[in-house]
Amino acid sequence: MKKALALTFAAAGMMFGATFTGVISDDGCKGDHRAMNMGNDAQCTVACVNAHGSKYVLWDGKEAYILSDQKTPEKFAAKKVTVTGTLDAKNNTIKVDSIKPAQ
């Protein structure tokens, strides 16, 4: 019974979304852009996405989460943000509801 109740609460929490904080980066570089030598971190992130087929991710320092919205993150490239959305742990993707500068 306790297990079923815990699963119900976990599923309900996933339906309402959560907040995630990290830096907008790309899935090729994640948090380290030095090797690319393409200018500052923001320039590298945008170039990797636009010219090299990378995807925008939220990098929390340990994990890179692919963002379902691949347009909005460009204006936040290399900046710390808070993403509100729902995590699909199977695909390591956040279904984005909103992206805002982190406080």
Token duo for residue 5: 């109740």
Token duo for residue 53: 């087929």
Provide the domain limits for residue 85: 17-101
Residue 4, in any domain of the structure: no
Residue 92, in any domain of the structure: yes
Q: What is the pLDDT of residue 52?
A: 86
Query: Distances in Å between the alpha carbon of 18 and those of 1, 8, 38, 66?
Result: 26, 16, 33, 15
Q: What is the pLDDT of residue 16?
A: 61
For the chain, the straight-line distance linking the first and the last C-alpha, in angstroms and rounded, comes to 40
**What CATH code is carried by the domain that includes residue 93?**
2.40.50
Helical H segments across the chain, by residue range: 2-16, 41-52
Mean pLDDT split into 10-residue runs, the chain, 103 residues: 46 68 91 68 91 93 96 97 97 97 92
